[in-house]
Amino acid sequence: MTRRMLHGAAVFGVALVFILPLAFMLLGSLRVPGLAPPDGFEWVPDRIRWANFQTVFDLVPLWGYIWNSVLVAAVAVPVTVVVGSLAGFAIATAGPVVRRRLVLVSLVALMIPVTALWIPRFVLFRWAGLIDTPIVLMLPALMATTPFFVLIFAVVYSRIPKQMFEAAALEGSSAIATWRRVAVPLGRPATFAVSVLALVWHWANFVDPLLYLTTEERFTVPLALRTLQTLEATNHPLMLAAAVIATVIPLALFFLAQRAFFVKTLDI
């Protein structure tokens, strides 16, 4: 067996692991609700019911939820990328002592359990009058959502030869200009990766809307899925239909972004 074939088999195997759950979700979403769930796996349901995708909109106001989620992601993802990229650039170009401290601070921040932040954040948001507004879901983006994203940028920018930054500085570029003209174009893979991860993070964020929102009109998609999850197992096709809808949106965005990314970076 050649290396090429081995490689192909490995790629196929990994892809299968990721595609199978999606396939089960899609197939499960087409079952007729109210029927007994299958024992074990059922590849193709006996009767296919596309109408589930309609019914689920009658059960929960899904359009509104989707719109809210899109709104949050549309603001939070770009802000996350810009803030994370700037912070990562600062770490990458700092002197050794400062850099070590900044990385340490990021790691410590990364290790704080989120649950410890629930109440302080609630108090803060309430003091600022932001409870029950979509802004509370976007605010983490001002801190790059998670220190992990900052560290991704820091690592990628650290790999760019120092001389390039120095040359830009010699030409009289400000720090911001160097970031924009040197770091961002050379670190495009990091930007792409963080955009995708941030989109997934904000799209799947369940606890923040649960704790800080009270008006149903402002709820986001994960809360709808949670509601549908409590349906009896015989109605789970409806939950899966909502899950398919919730998955398709970021997936479509991913493919669009991926095209743009490859065309720009790899010239394909």
Partner 1 sequence: MRGTSLRLLAVSLTLLAATACMGDGGDSSSGNASIRLQVSGEREETAVYRAVVRAFEKDNPQIDVTLVEVADKDDHLAKLATAFSAGDPPDVFLVNFREYSQFVSRGAVAPFEDHLAAQEMDLADYYEEPIEAFTFDGALQCMPQNISSLVVYFNTDLFERAGVEPPFGGWTWDEFRDAALELTTRDVRGVGIEPNVIRLAPFMWSNGGELVDDDTEPTRFTFDDPASREALEFVVSLVRDDEVVPSEREVAAQDLETRFTTGKIAMLLSSRRETPPFREVTGLNFDVLPLPQAERPSGILHSDGYCIAAQSDEQTAAAELIAYATGEQGQTITTLGGRTVPSLESVANSLAFLDPLQAPAHSQVFLDGIPDLRRTPVIPTWPEIEDLAEEILTRAFYEPGYTIDDAIAALEDQTSELFAEGGE
- Contact residues toward partner 1 (CB under 8 A) are 34-37, 39, 59-60, 115, 118-119, 122-123, 126, 131, 210-211, 214-216, 223, 226-235
Whole-angstrom Cα distance, residue 69 to residue 152? 25
Residue (108 or 119) nearer to partner 1, CB = 119
Minimum distance of partner 1 from residue 215's CB (angstroms): 7
Residue (66 or 257) nearer to partner 1, CB = 66
Cβ(187)–Cβ(85) below 8 Å: yes
Whole-angstrom Cα distance, residue 98 to residue 78? 27
Minimum distance of partner 1 from residue 19's CB (angstroms): 23
Residue (146 or 235) nearer to partner 1, CB = 235
Minimum distance of partner 1 from residue 237's CB (angstroms): 13
Residue (32 or 164) nearer to partner 1, CB = 32
* Nearest CA among 212, 214, 221 for reference residue 250: 221
User: Which CA distances in Å does 140 have to 79, 103, 145?
Assistant: 9, 19, 5
Whole-angstrom Cα distance, residue 203 to residue 62? 14
Cβ(228)–Cβ(246) below 8 Å: no
Minimum distance of partner 1 from residue 73's CB (angstroms): 22
Two tokens at 212?
């800080």
Minimum distance of partner 1 from residue 123's CB (angstroms): 5
Minimum distance of partner 1 from residue 16's CB (angstroms): 23
Whole-angstrom Cα distance, residue 74 to residue 198? 11
Burial bucket for residue 115 (CB in 10 Å: 0-12, 13-18, 19+): exposed
* Nearest CA among 152, 231, 235 for reference residue 194: 152
Residue (123 or 251) nearer to partner 1, CB = 123
Residue (183 or 218) nearer to partner 1, CB = 218
Q: Could you count the other beta carbons within 10 Å of the beta carbon of residue 8?
A: 11
Minimum distance of partner 1 from residue 230's CB (angstroms): 4
